[in-house]
Amino acid sequence: VIHARSGVPHEIMGLMQGKVIGNSLVIMDSFALPVQGTETRVNAANEANEYMVEYIEKSEKAGRLENAIGWYHSHPGYGCWLSGIDVNTQLNNQKFQDPFVAVVIDPNRTISAGKVDIGAFRTYPENYTPPNATTSEYQSIPLSKIEDFGVHANQYYQLDVEIFKSSLDNDLLAMLWNKYWVNTLSQSPLISVSSHAP
């Protein structure tokens, strides 16, 4: 959340380390990647790939045995879902590193709601037609994103997310709220949702 918030209004990206326990992917740690994001997308280049390899090698030398098990990025202000670029990134990760999960965090909604706005996703295999599914909750998507949202919605599925927090995590979330609550409360709802209006 701190990494995602630090990038606003731009998207950020990172890698997650963890393990598989039964049918669950348990994320134990994460680290930021040196990527250049924009307000609407983030792509990892060769520099980020080299950084990932080096970071994981150093983690192993330090006794951290968790594998790379997923990637995360932010959607500042427009919810948790996968764009076309995200779907392609996740398809490739699942091909070569499965099991692998994609996580999206909305730092703006996290701060305004006081709880982490997060989604975890996996893609269906290519050429798979999923059963007709209905979305379980309404999401406010900016008009500039709505086409990308709808076009790729049947190429992935959402996983249940269970968050476990330490007392340090609770303190960090409280610190974030204390730091940004004035910005959150002082924003007019009309201004904060202006990107959703025609």
Task: Report DSSP state, residue 132.
Answer: P
What is the distance between the alpha carbons of residues 163 and 189, in angstroms, rounded to a whole number? 28
**86, 127 Cβ separation under 8 angstroms:** no
Q: List the domain range (segments joined by +) for residue 165.
A: 2-196
pLDDT at position 129, please?
A: 86
Rounded to the nearest 5 degrees, what angle is found at the Cα of 49, between the Cα atoms of 5 and 91? 80
Domain count, the chain: 1
What is the distance between the alpha carbons of residues 154 and 124, in angstroms, rounded to a whole number? 8
Residue listed under structure tokens 């091909």:
95
Question: CA torsion, points 177, 2, 78, 19, in degrees to nearest 10?
Answer: -120
Structure confidence by residue, pLDDT tens digits, 58-102: 988 998 888 899 999 999 888 899 999 899 999 999 999 999 999
pLDDT at position 184, please?
A: 55
What strand order describes the sheet that includes 24-32? 24-32, 13-21, 67-74, 101-105, 118-123, 156-159
pLDDT at position 171, please?
A: 84
pLDDT at position 146, please?
A: 61
Nearest Cα to Cα of residue 89 among 144, 163, 35 = 35
Q: Please count the other Cβ atoms lying within 10 Å of the Cβ belonging to residue 149.
A: 17
Q: Spell out a b/e string for 119-129, using b for 16 or more CB atoms within 10 Å of the CB, else e.
A: bbbbbeeeeee
What is the distance between the alpha carbons of residues 126 and 155, in angstroms, rounded to a whole number? 8
CATH of residue 14's domain is 3.40.140.10
pLDDT in tens, the chain (198 residues): 767 777 778 888 899 999 999 999 999 989 998 876 665 556 666 777 788 889 888 988 998 888 899 999 999 888 899 999 899 999 999 999 999 999 999 988 888 887 888 999 999 998 888 887 555 555 666 665 666 666 788 899 999 999 877 788 778 777 877 776 666 555 544 444 444 444
